[in-house]
Amino acid sequence: MNVKNAKDAARQWVTDEASTLPGFRGALYHGSIVSLPDAASIQPTSDVDIVVVVDGPKPDVRMGKFIHQGVMLDVSFLPWDQCHTPELVLGNSHLAESFRYPDIVSDPTGQLARLQAVVGRDYARSEWVVQRCEHAMHKIRANLNSIDDSRQFHDQTMAWLFAAGVTTHVLLVAGLRNPTVRKRYVTVRELLQGYGQSSFYEPLLALLGCAHMTPARVEHHLSELSAAFDASANVASTPLPFSSDITEIARPIAIDGSKELIDRGDHREAIFWIVATSLRCQTILHRDAPLGVRDRYEGSYRELMGELGIDSAFDLKRRGDEVAAFLPRLWDMAENIIVANPGIDAH
């Protein structure tokens, strides 16, 4: 299926279902599909992200991932008061990309189009690029600050993981590139190569702890995760923000998508999402699985974390401190990319 067909299916779902929700204001494409040409193929390991804009707070239920007309949609909600001015959007590292192009899913009042016109015009102005980089830096610090000894170890580790992973987003935003989720390391590697800064890539992997890992080891960890994923999907009953990511429907993205990266030689780049998925499975297993089932998958999770250099709370604090200490270097590189980027309007 190509992008045009996938977008048509998404638009039909919004028309039939989302538009009937109380407070519906419209919907936007989000994620990688935003910048893909209509003729590009949608792989089975990809979904189509849709942001539904609503008045008031987000609905209690998160739609998440589901299949509609043969397309996997991933639907989230965005309160209107978080995007009702161009300034709110232009300074947001993960939202601005959705308003960058005029292809809006649904806009019954015309307000999204008016916002998009301003965001599209000013997206590449240096002041907004810098502000989006600062927003991504703030997310790193917020994740580091949320590493709390009172939380379960896997929850603390998730905060560290996303602190380390968002370092890539600072650079991608500086390069006017989409801050992708699962393929963030592949994309930032390509960005750095384009600016003659390939030597900066290995330190990013070192922060994650996977610079030394071989294809065989990553393949092993993915095999172990596959079993934990299926067990987690089978017992999951507690609603969680990521519940729809650990389901049989989402398996092609979480498991097959990681295998796809390994098979093409991007085994280290696959680690981020393997770890994120493993930590999510641990959350589900600790909440919903019988003790025996939970213990069955504890060893493989601990083995994965140990290979990343995290065996204890002490290790986790040390690795968080490494991310914090790296931030001045990261900011210098972001500034270098902004200065060298011909697409950025310095005026």
User: Is domain 3-123 in CATH 3.30.460.10, yes or no?
Assistant: yes
Q: What is the pLDDT of residue 25?
A: 96
CA–CA gap between residue 294 and residue 283 (Å, rounded): 10
Portions of the chain given CATH number 3.30.460.10? 3-123
The average confidence (pLDDT) of the chain is 95
User: Rounded to the nearest 10 degrees, what angle do helices 313-340 and 126-145 cross at?
Assistant: 180
CA–CA gap between residue 145 and residue 149 (Å, rounded): 11
Q: What is the pLDDT of residue 44?
A: 86
CA–CA gap between residue 130 and residue 274 (Å, rounded): 31
Bridge partners (DSSP) listed for residue 48 = 73
In 3D, which of 263, 259, 302 has the Cα closest to residue 281? 302
Q: What is the pLDDT of residue 249?
A: 95
Taking only the tens place, the pLDDT of each residue in 238-247 is: 999 999 999 9
The ranges of the chain with pLDDT < 70 are 61, 347
**332 CB burial (10 A radius; 0-12, 13-18, 19+):** exposed
Phi-psi region of 31 (alpha: psi -120 to 50; beta: other; left: phi over 0): left
Q: What is the pLDDT of residue 61?
A: 66
Q: Which residues of 65-88 are buried (b: 16+ CB within 10 A; e: fewer)?
A: bbebeebbbbbebbeeeebeebee
Number of helices (H), then strands (E), in the chain: 13, 4
Tokens describing residue 336: 């270098």
Contact of 173 with 193, CB cutoff 8 Å = no
Place of tokens 């910048």: 35
Q: What is the pLDDT of residue 151?
A: 87
Bridge partners (DSSP) listed for residue 76 = 51
